[in-house]
Each structure stands twice: as C-alpha cells, then as structure tokens.
Chains A and B, each alone.
Chain A
Amino acid sequence: MFEIFQYDFMINALIASILASVAFGIVGSYVVVKRIVFISGGISHTAYGGIGLGFLLGFNPIYGALLFSIIAALFISYMRKQTKQYEDTLIGIMWAFGMALGVIFINLSPGYAPNLMSYLFGNILTIPTSDIYLMLFLDITIVLMVFFFFNQFQAITFDEEFAYTIGLPVDLLYTVLLLMTALTTVLLIKLVGIILVIALLSIPAAIGIKYVSSLKHLMIVSVLLGIVFNVVGLLFSYYLNLASGATIIMISIIGYFISALYSKMRA
C-alpha cells in the first residue's frame, strides 16, 4: 500500500499534514478550553477576502489570507475591549464581509476564474514545497510562544479576570492567542479549506479533553489525533478518489463519535 509515497505530492501532503497537526493541536486546545471556536470560524472565513485579493492583484493568495486573518484577529481583540455587547453579531458580520469581499475580488480579477474549490474545501495534494516551509516557520513560532508563555496562556484561558488581578497583560496575551489562531487557520486552509477549518481545529481537542488531566496533555493528544485523522483521511481520499479535505473531516467526525460512544459506555 505504500506505493503512494513514491509521488512527491504525497510526501508533501504527508509532511504538511504533520506540520499542520502540530499547530492546530496546540492552538485548538486553547480554542476549545477558552470556547472561542466561533471566533476562530470568524477569523478563518474572513481570510477568504485575502484570497480574493491575492487573485485580483496577482500575488500568492495564502499571503492575502494571512493578512486578512491577522486583521480579523486584531479587530476582534480591539472590539472586545471596547464593548462586550454584540460581540458575536460583529464577528458574524466580519465573517460574511470577508467572504463577500473575496467573491467580489475574484469577480473583478482579470482572466480565467481561478479554482476556488481548493481554498474553500482544501486540497492537500496541491501543496507546493514553498507552503511547507511557510508551515514549518509558523509551527516553530507557535511552539516557541507556547513554550515560553504556557502558564500565561493557561491563566487567561482558565480565568481571565483573575489573570487581570494578578497583573498579567491579559489583552496582549489574548491578542497573541488570536493571532496564533489566525496563523493556524491559514495553515489549515490548504489542508481542509476555509469552510472545514473549524472542525479540524476543534475536533481533536474536543475528543482529547475527555481523557486528559492537564492542558499540556491535551495538546499532545490533540496533535497525535490530528496526525492520525490527517493520514487516515489522506489514505482514504487517495484510494477512494475523494476530496482530501472532506475526507479528513469525515474521519475526524467518525473519531469524535467513536470517542463519544466510548465515554457513554464507560459512564
């Protein structure tokens, strides 16, 4: 069965899925315990505007996605400080705005209509080596941040108000956390696409949280689960000739239900 690895694109896909699993296992753990899955969805969907911009102006759309998701993350953390009201409404508006902007930018792009399916639903088989380096760089950034500031991030995700009262720079930490979420979702776009990103960010940690006793363990378990889901999904998509992003998500969801059944039976 390993003949599939004679293809460079398969090797790239494999490396990409492992690299992405590291980022989304770590960041996904924070996203799940802090319950900011919806916010992450807003950040990743806004990125679509940047993809459109990339096509319109002729640069790599992934950089456009990066730019837009960073702006989205900064906007959310700024807005949160201003008013706690209607936060979810504003995120919903930003979400739709990014998507609409992307569509319009692409309409305005000269020449042929680009294949957007791979951005919306992902296509891990088309990942170029340059994107792998980008992923590696983002991974290293995230791992270093969490290595040095693990306790600080834990404090703000566990009890934000208490974190303020002991003098932690909560707003800064929260902004950095959202920026890491933005980077991670962009990493994942090529893998599973904008629409499915939230699932891959949250499912491994949502499974893991039932079995672990610390945030550190949750991160490790989530990374490993992410790798398993990606690799299994990749194999299935190759042999059954299915879209890779959707297959990976299906495998993750099946994993989620198996775990849910298992904990029901144990209880």
Chain B
Amino acid sequence: MENKNLPAIEINNLSFSFQDQLVLDNINLTIRNKEFIGIIGPNGGGKTTLLKILLGLLKPNKGEVKIFGKSPAKNLKYLGYVPQYSNFDKSYPISVHDVVLMGMLGRTGFGTPLKKENPKVAEVLEKVELTPIINKQIGELSGGQLQRVLIARALISNPNILLLDEPTASIDSKSGKSFYDLLQSLNDDMTIVLVSHDIGAISRFVKKIACLNKTLIYHDSKEISVEMIEATYHCPVDLIAHGVPHRVLDESEHSH
C-alpha cells in the first residue's frame, strides 16, 4: 500500500449524466481505509453508475474520484469488482476454476499464458467455501454460488477495496459460514463498499450507510433517519420498510 493514511476512496463534487439524463448530482463522499459502507437507494438511483465511475469504467462529467489519492485508472490494482451476478450469461461454457483464474489475468504480462493449476484459485475458493464445486460449469450454480464465485474472482488479485453490486443473493445461504461472516472477515484487511436497493438486507452487514438517489446523503455513521430514507426514496418510509421505526437500522436483527 502506498499510503495507509490516504482515504481509500474520495469523491469530490461528482456529477454524471447519460446523454441528457442527470444520474449523479454533485456527490461528495470520503471512505477511509478498512471502512465497510453500504449505499442504499431505489432502482435507477445511480448505484451501479457510481461503482462504475469508481472503477474508471465511466468518466465523470464533473468532479473527480480518487482511489488512494490517484485516478481509478492509475490505481486499478487496489480495486476488486464484484458485478451484479444476475446480469451474467450463464450459458457461457466456463468452469468455476476458470472464472476465478480470470481475476489473475491483469497481473500476468500481456500474452503470457496462465498456469493451469494455480494454487491461488484453491485458496480463494476455500475462503468463499466453494472448494467442492471448483470444476462445475457456471450454468449449474445457484445465484448465491455464482455470487461467491465472483467474489473469489475479485479476491484473487488481493485488492484493498472490494466493490459489490447488489450482492443480496447469497445472503440467505444456509450452509456454512454466513455471507455476513465472510464479509466481516474480509473487512479485517480491506475496505468494502456494498450497494443495494434492499435496505433490510444490507443494514445487517454494513458499518456505515449512505443513501443514494441521484444525490447522496451520508452522515458518516450507520444512523439513517426517516428523513434520509424519505428523501432518497421519495415515498413515505412505511411503504418501503413496513414501518421501520426511527433509526432502527443500527439494530441488525430487524428484517421484516
């Protein structure tokens, strides 16, 4: 790590539009190293867009983002991306092993073939508890398993920051270590940013919560108020959270 005291992620006056549609409006957010933050907001609120800007996949129209002090393009090696699993084409003929190995590609020289038996693959699959399905086709996996495969693929390059897009599929995994425990243990040595439209599902996990719907509301804490949610979702709270009382979200057990 170049400088542990720099914020992991720094977003300054960021605005972004798709053609004429303003999707992110003057976002400011600083995420310190080893933080675990959840960003909630309705579908279409700009969560995926924000992650893509952090990854350098989209360029801001205004403002800037910094990853450990530099542009995303310069510090890609610190970022691990776990895209939304439900967007995947599960008919692609590829095994779990090969998907995970893909995460190493950026580190080999261009055109250098990857070693077929890479010990790192077994190591990260062990972490996400998928060792037994290493040779399965991705088409045979459940949503939750695919989600973990994508996490393993991100982990294999030892990122410092993990960005997860709507990882709610694995939350109900019944066997083994829970998704919650997995993220907690990863959080010991990396910053985690998790975005989701599902307040109930993510509030149990994260240590801090921000609300995003074109604009971002964040008080550097886990406390979110009825006002924050209403401002974000543009509808009365009891419609979206079945009457979640004020600040209930810092109690983890409350999900329906």
Partner-B contacts on A (CB < 8 A):
33, 35, 85, 148-152, 154-155, 157-159, 161-169, 209, 212-215, 217-218
Of all chain A residues, which has the CB nearest B77?
Answer: A167
Q: Known: A85-B19, A161-B52, A167-B77. Is A155-B93 also a contact (CB below 8 A)?
A: no
Q: Known: A151-B105, A152-B105, A164-B55. Is A214-B95 also a contact (CB below 8 A)?
A: yes
Q: Is B26's beta carbon under 8 Å from chain A?
A: no
Task: Indicate the size class of the contact surface on chain B.
Answer: 20 to 34
Of all chain A residues, which has the CB nearest B76?
Answer: A167
Please measure, in the bound complex, the distance between the C-alpha atom of A169 and the C-alpha atom of B114, giving whole angstroms: 17
Report A-chain residues with C-beta under 8 Å of the C-beta of B124.
none
Report B-chain residues with C-beta under 8 Å of the C-beta of A148.
111, 113
Report B-chain residues with C-beta under 8 Å of the C-beta of A33.
89, 92-93
Report B-chain residues with C-beta under 8 Å of the C-beta of A214.
93-95, 98
Q: Find out whether the CB atom of A165 lies under 8 angstroms from the CB atom of B91.
A: no
Of all chain A residues, which has the CB nearest B106?
Answer: A166
Q: Is B233's beta carbon under 8 Å from chain A?
A: no
Report B-chain residues with C-beta under 8 Å of the C-beta of A169.
110
Q: Find out whether the CB atom of B76 lies under 8 angstroms from the CB atom of A166.
A: yes
Please measure, in the bound complex, the distance between the C-alpha atom of A149 and the C-alpha atom of B109, giving whole angstroms: 11
> Looking at B89, B95, B105, which has the most chain A CB atoms within 10 Å of its CB?
B105
Q: Per DSSP, are chain A's interface residues mostly helix, strand or loop, or mixed?
A: helix
Please measure, in the bound complex, the distance between the C-alpha atom of A218 and the C-alpha atom of B93, giving whole angstroms: 8
Min distance, Cβ A251 to any Cβ of chain B, angstroms: 24
Min distance, Cβ A15 to any Cβ of chain B, angstroms: 30
Interface set, chain B 72-120, CB cutoff 8 A to A: 76-77, 79, 81, 83, 88-89, 91-95, 98-99, 101-103, 105-107, 110-111, 113-114
Q: Which of A152, A158, A166 is B92 in contact with, Cβ under 8 Å?
A: A158
Interface set, chain B 146-172, CB cutoff 8 A to A: 153, 157
Of all chain B residues, which has the CB nearest A218?
Answer: B93
Q: Find out whether the CB atom of A165 lies under 8 angstroms from the CB atom of B57.
A: yes
Q: Which of B76, B98, B107, B113 is A165 in contact with, Cβ under 8 Å?
A: B76
Report A-chain residues with C-beta under 8 Å of the C-beta of B153.
162
Q: Find out whether the CB atom of A166 lies under 8 angstroms from the CB atom of B94.
A: no
Q: Find out whether the CB atom of A162 lies under 8 angstroms from the CB atom of B93.
A: no
Q: Is B200's beta carbon under 8 Å from chain A?
A: no
Can you offer 13 A-B residue contacts whose CB atoms are under 8 A? Answer: A33-B93, A151-B101, A152-B111, A154-B102, A158-B89, A159-B88, A161-B52, A165-B56, A166-B102, A168-B105, A169-B110, A217-B93, A218-B93
Please measure, in the bound complex, the distance between the C-alpha atom of A145 and the C-alpha atom of B215, giving whole angstroms: 46
Report A-chain residues with C-beta under 8 Å of the C-beta of B113.
148, 150-151
Q: Known: A33-B93, A213-B137. Is A161-B83 also a contact (CB below 8 A)?
A: yes
Report A-chain residues with C-beta under 8 Å of the C-beta of B101.
151
Of all chain A residues, which has the CB nearest B150?
Answer: A162
Report A-chain residues with C-beta under 8 Å of the C-beta of B95.
213-214
10 residue pairs, one from A and one from B, having the closest CB atoms: A166-B106, A167-B106, A165-B81, A148-B111, A165-B55, A212-B93, A167-B76, A155-B102, A218-B93, A214-B93
Of all chain B residues, which has the CB nearest A35?
Answer: B89
Min distance, Cβ B167 to any Cβ of chain A, angstroms: 15
